[in-house]
Structure 1
């Protein structure tokens, strides 16, 4: 382990696809399997790789790293996690219970729109709807996840649009990109955690919907025999993607820490002012090892 890294590093992966599925070509965070293995081998030489719970509970996180995945894409369970188990390396998968249950991820629906260049068609279809005026065609990906726009409403509108345009058939292929429950790996080195039920921008929802998103995913985890973390990973993980209610509902559900995704490392851990839940930072891995080395040093301010 290198002593030069003074912060604790939580790496965040999404897809580890060899070939990105049709319809998801636009804006999917992906690291191909060969690069993933290169990155983890480098990580192991630079850090002590520990489980997320050990990382959260450590008194000193200097030189510690942990591996996390969000959204439970199916490729993780054949391209990434079996190899990590062979290497005896722990990891944590933050999943969305509704998506593992078979629903199509609404952000994958947005990627489908972008891949088919249907942004303008979508906005024309809903041009009389006040909420749709918040979305610009040229910023469709970002605007569709604005905190001031209900993610649930956008999700429902996407379904209406696909049905009206008779795109349900091509869209159905996206039901297979998120792992089903039968594909999850039950192993002591693999931990699962709450990423909300549907991966909506929680701050865009009224309190009762936000509470249900967190509560129902936590209940789903408790009812199963997987190794689970009590940490909660905020969907999207930006400062504006959650609010004070998020911390309150997470604590009520039994969560003991909140993970963000703000391209930072953990030197001094902050706490929410109301609930006192500790807040940990993650960063999304770039597609190549060389970029990861540069980013890790930059975030840790290593010359």
Structure 2
């Protein structure tokens, strides 16, 4: 019954799927806190959508008048597993996807949210808090709220990343870069396009205007230089209402982006959504990790969407 009702969603909605990593087995340093869908589950989910929806590129969803029945597949953060395990799955199904990259990974530096996960999975939160006691006490960061508050718009993400680096360096701790390590990962593929997810994935609204522009421009220029298929849709890091502001929209317009993506766990039930900040936007949702919970998730999202119509 749930499956039948989920199929019916193609008549009144479009879906933008959000994936992050696709490890067959998640590394120990990332196990807690990482959104991961295995290649096997990815195949089942995408195969289901291919049967009942039209899977298209993300830019097409923004450019078409009627988007009902369409699905776009997106990956944020460009984890290595996306290139080694997810893309082969999508190629076997002959469906397109867009990978939103953080350019800092190409420098060899670990993704700052993976540094956060590393501390959590290695029981180092309290040690980090004590090492940076003045800052953490000022911002009321505790071991209980650590994961959530470190991505708050009220605390400058760049400052947190700097503190993380100082702590790791002082304690002679090295962290693997689990995201793309070099441009060899970004090989041309007609099914794959690449988009801007900022250079460091900081909470944009936590930054001042110059910092925001550097984050957007630096990654924009990197994508242009790489001579790869470049999406004109922008993926907002963390993707909530509080994670961007009017300055963000002003800068996206300056660099000629045609729209941006939220990540607020919702489907799209209207053909055009113009945000209050005057740039087209669409909703995405993080796909549940196994097929049964994925089907239940679709059902709940569909009901929520119908209520909002």
Q: Post-superposition shift, 1:82?
A: 2.1
Partner of 1:100: 106
Deviations 1:119-171 (A, max 9, x none): 11111111123675331111110011111101000000001111122213xx2
Residues 124-135 of structure 1: pairs in structure 2 closer than 5 A: 124-129=130-135, 133-135=139-141
Between the aligned partners of 1:157 and 1:264, the Cα distance in structure 2 is: 34
Partner of 1:30: 36
Q: Does 1:253 align with 2:255?
A: yes
Between the aligned partners of 1:4 and 1:43, the Cα distance in structure 2 is: 11
Residues 53-64 of structure 1: pairs in structure 2 closer than 5 A: 53-64=59-70
SS in 2 for 1:211: helix
Q: Does 1:161 align with 2:164?
A: no
Q: Post-superposition shift, 1:180?
A: 2.4
Partner of 2:124: 118
Q: CA RMSD in A?
A: 1.7
Normalised TM-score (structure 1): 0.94
Partner of 1:41: 47
Normalised TM-score (structure 2): 0.92
Between the aligned partners of 1:131 and 1:252, the Cα distance in structure 2 is: 38
SS in 2 for 1:62: coil
Deviations 1:270-292 (A, max 9, x none): 22344x31011000001111111
Between the aligned partners of 2:9 and 2:135, the Cα distance in structure 1 is: 54
Task: From the two aligned structures, give the one with the greater helix fraction.
Answer: 2
Q: Residues 38 and 110 from structure 1, CA distance in 2 versus in 1: closer, same or farther, beyond 3 angstroms? A: same
Tell whether the 8 Å contact from 2:59 to 2:231 is kept in structure 1 after alignment.
yes
Structure 1 counterpart of 2:218, from 198, 216, 219: 216
Residues 250-289 of structure 1: pairs in structure 2 closer than 5 A: 250-268=252-270, 269-274=272-277, 276-289=278-291
Q: Post-superposition shift, 1:53?
A: 1.4
Between the aligned partners of 2:142 and 2:131, the Cα distance in structure 1 is: 13
Between the aligned partners of 1:226 and 1:237, the Cα distance in structure 2 is: 24
SS in 1 for 2:214: helix
Is there any run of 5+ residues in structure 2 with no aligned partner, and where? 1-5
SS in 2 for 1:266: coil
Between the aligned partners of 2:58 and 2:119, the Cα distance in structure 1 is: 35
Between the aligned partners of 1:179 and 1:87, the Cα distance in structure 2 is: 26
Between the aligned partners of 2:137 and 2:97, the Cα distance in structure 1 is: 39
Between the aligned partners of 1:51 and 1:131, the Cα distance in structure 2 is: 45
Tell whether the 8 Å contact from 1:3 to 1:63 is kept in structure 2 after alignment.
no
Between the aligned partners of 2:35 and 2:7, the Cα distance in structure 1 is: 28
**Equivalent residues, number:** 298
Between the aligned partners of 2:9 and 2:58, the Cα distance in structure 1 is: 21
Q: Post-superposition shift, 1:176?
A: 4.2
Tell whether the 8 Å contact from 2:41 to 2:290 is kept in structure 1 after alignment.
yes
SS in 2 for 1:68: strand
Q: Does 1:192 align with 2:198?
A: no
Deviations 1:66-100 (A, max 9, x none): 10000000011111112212321000000011223
Between the aligned partners of 1:13 and 1:135, the Cα distance in structure 2 is: 28
